[in-house]
A and B are shown apart, each in its own frame.
Chain A
Amino acid sequence: GAGVSQSPRYKVAKRGQDVALRCDPISGHVSLFWYQQALGQGPEFLTYFQNEAQLDKSGLPSDRFFAERPEGSVSTLKIQRTQQEDSAVYLCASSPRPGQGNSPLHFGNGTRLTVT
C-alpha cells in the first residue's frame, strides 16, 4: 500500500534561493502535518492542515515559510530566501481521523534540505 510520499528526498539550495517541498499523504487521510527535524533533535511542529484548512501554523519559524494544501490532498511547504539555519530534514505526516488524540501519525521519508 502507498504510504506518505515526499519529494525531493534531498535538496541542496544556495542561500537566498526559494525551495518547494512536496508531500503526498496517504489517500483519505484528513490531517496533514509538517515537522522540521534538526540533527540529533526530535521533530518540531511547523503547521497542520485538516483537509484544505490550515488550522495551526504557529510553528512556522518565520514569514519565509509558507504551506498550502489547496485541494485537501497534496501539500507543499515553501521556504523563501533560504538561510543556512533552514538546513534540516522536513518531515510530513498524515493521520486519518482529526480530533481524536489516539490516531497516530504516519510519516513520509522526509526531505533533507541543505542550504549552502
Chain B
Amino acid sequence: QKEVEQNSGPLSVPEGAIASLNCTYSDQGSQSFFWYRQYSGKSPELIMFIYSNGDKEDGRFTAQLNKASQYVSLLIRDSQPSDSATYLCAVNMGNDQFYFGTGTSLTVIP
C-alpha cells in the first residue's frame, strides 16, 4: 500500500473556477504535508506546506488538513491556464523521509 494516494486525474476546470485536489496518507504519525507543482519537463516547486489541522491560505491557494481523516487538500481559487500542471502531495513522517503521491494532472480551460 502506497503511503500517499492521489487521484491521477486528469482534472479539468474552466478558467476562474475553483480546482480541488485531494490527497490521503496512511501513516498516522505523519507530521507535515506539502504541495508541489510540477510543469511538464520541469522539477517540482513548492506551493505551500501545512502541519496543523485546519486551513492555511496563501493568495489563491488554500491547503486544508484533517489529521483524523488522514487527508490533505489543495484548493486553487480563480484558476488560471498557467495553473495547468501536475500537483504533487508530499508527506513527511518527521524523520526527514518524504513520501510523494503520483500527482494529479490539472488542466485549466480558457
By a beta-carbon cutoff of 8 Å, the part of chain A in contact with chain B is 31, 33, 35, 40-45, 48, 50, 55-56, 91, 95, 98-99, 101-102, 104-110
Interface residues of B in 16-45 (CB under 8 A from A): 31-32, 34, 36, 42-45
CB-based contact B96/A99 at 8 Å: yes
CB-based contact B97/A56 at 8 Å: yes
CB-based contact B103/A108 at 8 Å: no
CB-based contact A109/B43 at 8 Å: yes
* List of 4 A-B pairs having minimum Cβ-Cβ separation, nearest first: A42-B100, A101-B31, A101-B32, A101-B92
CB-based contact A110/B96 at 8 Å: no
CB-based contact B100/A43 at 8 Å: yes
By a beta-carbon cutoff of 8 Å, the part of chain B in contact with chain A is 4, 6, 8, 31-32, 34, 36, 42-46, 49, 51, 88, 90, 92-103
Chain A residues, CB < 8 A from B43: 91, 107-110
CB-based contact B97/A48 at 8 Å: yes
Q: How far is the CB of B107 from chain A (nearest CB, A)?
A: 15
Chain B residues, CB < 8 A from A109: 42-43
Q: How far is the CB of B25 from chain A (nearest CB, A)?
A: 13
CA A26 to CA B102, docked complex, whole Å: 26
Cβ 8 A contact of A105, one of B31, B98, B101, B103: B98
Cβ 8 A contact of A102, one of B32, B42, B102, B103: B32
